[in-house]
Chains A and B, each alone.
Chain A
Amino acid sequence: MEANLKEIVLNNSNDIVKMWLGEVEKHRKHDYTSSISDELFESTNREFVNVIFTSLEKQGATNDIEGFAERLINLGWPLSYLTDGMQAFRRVTINYILGQSTKVDTQYFSEVLGKVDEWVDPVINQLVNEYSGSWENIVSLQKVALQELSAPLIPVMENITVMPLIGTIDTERAKLIMENLLDGVIKHHADVVLIDITGVPVVDTMVAHHIIQAAEAVRLIGSTCILVGIRPEIAQTIVNLGIDLSKFPTKSSLKKGFESALELTNRRIEDIQSKNNEIEELVDSLDRE
């Protein structure tokens, strides 16, 4: 009986494939694959159905499925294409077998259902596992990448360091910012730290709270913190929220912040060009006399 069902399916694979292709084509109209070219869709369908049949023939031959899933993942095909395809295969096969047999009683019916499920479910499971595995991998990689970008500290000059912040600050990142900031200040012997929030889209009370705490901690270890990169709209929302940032200096741009950092460390930028000009003018005036 068992071998029988399998034989029916394998012997009539052409009919089943035809029905399956029709079914998949029907589903295609109203969804995701509309942007994929017809040839590619067709060849992928062919390959998919081949994979299904080989896995059916050699129960447990998982290499084909693995390779196929990997290629689709790389091409960016949605998982729903595969699950829809497998469900269509289940429907088509059951219909076909039932249509072929003359005696249809409940026992036979449930036997067919059970058998087809036994073929289809492992394949679906494997496909879903492949996909979710690759997603988890991507997510964890991006998490690491994000953490690397999170809170860099750049020593720009002796005693002056800059921490540019870009993107949303959540609790986890705020903690990282604080740690990196304090570590960096000690490591680089920084007298002044500039925190640049040009790239922070929204400054709400939580973000402000974390920045205030970080600045306060920097003050405790003997350095000065200057908050720079406050855009006009951010300045307005901070005022509206009623956040008090008067405990440490703030500047509109990194440039202005850097100038006052130089001032704090008793330095300034001088223009070499203008000095030369002065000397030239002096020489000129001497010549004239």
Chain B
Amino acid sequence: MDFQSCVNIKKEWDIVGARQLGRDIAKKIGFGTVDQARIATAISELARNIYLYAGTGKVCFEAIEDINERGLRIVAMDEGPGIRDVSQVMEDGFSTSGGLGAGLPGVKRLMDDFDVISRQGEGTEVRVVKWLR
């Protein structure tokens, strides 16, 4: 797949970089301030998950421009330990790191489409889309 741009996540400050790039792209596509905040927050969650659980990975952005639909696709990829039980992490309040446990379920609510592919020991890929309407 051809991505517009990617940000590598290695340090905590890379989360800020990913968020800013995502927000810029969202602004360019034409999202309003509320959706920009939603997208930036979702990126922040995904990038932080990479930083906390996998160590390194990347967040990629792709502007979708179809005839009838426009939107932003965000893909967060890592080669970390993977998620043992995906349905468990999608429950509100579940966290292995003492956090709020609202990250992934929160992202699902912030965005329109949501997809997690994870294999234990191989890594995780989270694909989300926000449609412009």
User: Which residues of A approach B to under 8 Å, CB–CB?
Assistant: 168, 170-171, 201-206, 208-209, 212, 232-234, 236-237, 240-243
Q: Is the CB of B41 within 8 A of A204?
A: yes
Q: Can you show 23 pairs from A to B with CB atoms below 8 A apart?
A: A202-B19, A202-B41, A204-B41, A204-B44, A205-B45, A205-B48, A205-B102, A205-B106, A206-B48, A206-B99, A212-B100, A233-B38, A234-B37, A237-B110, A240-B38, A240-B41, A240-B110, A241-B41, A242-B92, A242-B102, A242-B105, A243-B100, A243-B102
Task: Find the B residue at minimum CB distance from A203.
Answer: B41
Interface residue count on the B side (C-beta < 8 Å): 23
Q: Judge whether B34 is part of the interface by a CB distance below 8 angstroms.
A: yes
Cα distance A241–B38 in the bound complex, in angstroms: 9
Q: Is the CB of A208 within 8 A of B100?
A: yes
Q: Judge whether B9 is part of the interface by a CB distance below 8 angstroms.
A: no
Rounded to whole Å, the gap between the CB of B130 and the closest CB of chain A is 12
Cα distance A242–B108 in the bound complex, in angstroms: 11
A contact residues around B16 at 8 Å (CB): 168, 170
Rounded to whole Å, the gap between the CB of A45 and the closest CB of chain B is 36
Query: Could you tell me which residues of chain B, from 102 to 124, have a CB within 8 Å of some CB in chain A?
Result: 102-103, 105-106, 109-110
CB within 8 A of A237: which of B13, B37, B48? B37
B contact residues around A208 at 8 Å (CB): 100, 102
Whether A205 touches B99, Cβ cut-off 8 Å, given contacts A170-B13, A237-B37, A240-B110, is: yes
B contact residues around A171 at 8 Å (CB): 12
A contact residues around B129 at 8 Å (CB): none
Q: Is the CB of B48 within 8 A of A204?
A: yes
Question: Main SS of the interface on chain A?
Answer: helix
B contact residues around A237 at 8 Å (CB): 37-38, 41, 110
Q: Judge whether B33 is part of the interface by a CB distance below 8 angstroms.
A: yes
Cα distance A43–B120 in the bound complex, in angstroms: 61
The 8 closest A-B pairs by CB, nearest first: A241-B106, A233-B37, A204-B44, A233-B34, A240-B109, A237-B41, A205-B100, A240-B110
CB within 8 A of A236: which of B38, B45, B105? B38
B contact residues around A170 at 8 Å (CB): 12-13, 16
Contact with A along B24-44 (1 / 0, CB 8 A): 000000000110111011001
Cα distance A212–B36 in the bound complex, in angstroms: 24
Whether A242 touches B109, Cβ cut-off 8 Å, given contacts A205-B45, A208-B100, is: yes
B contact residues around A205 at 8 Å (CB): 45, 48, 99-100, 102-103, 106
A contact residues around B103 at 8 Å (CB): 204-205
Rounded to whole Å, the gap between the CB of A104 and the closest CB of chain B is 47
Rounded to whole Å, the gap between the CB of A255 and the closest CB of chain B is 22
Q: Is the CB of B45 within 8 A of A233?
A: no
Rounded to whole Å, the gap between the CB of B35 and the closest CB of chain A is 8
Task: Find the A residue at minimum CB distance from B110.
Answer: A240
Whether A209 touches B100, Cβ cut-off 8 Å, given contacts A170-B12, A204-B48, A242-B92, is: yes
Rounded to whole Å, the gap between the CB of B115 and the closest CB of chain A is 18
Task: Find the B residue at minimum CB distance from A238.
Answer: B41
Cα distance A204–B106 in the bound complex, in angstroms: 9
Q: Is the CB of A241 within 8 A of B109?
A: yes
Q: Is the CB of A209 within 8 A of B109?
A: no
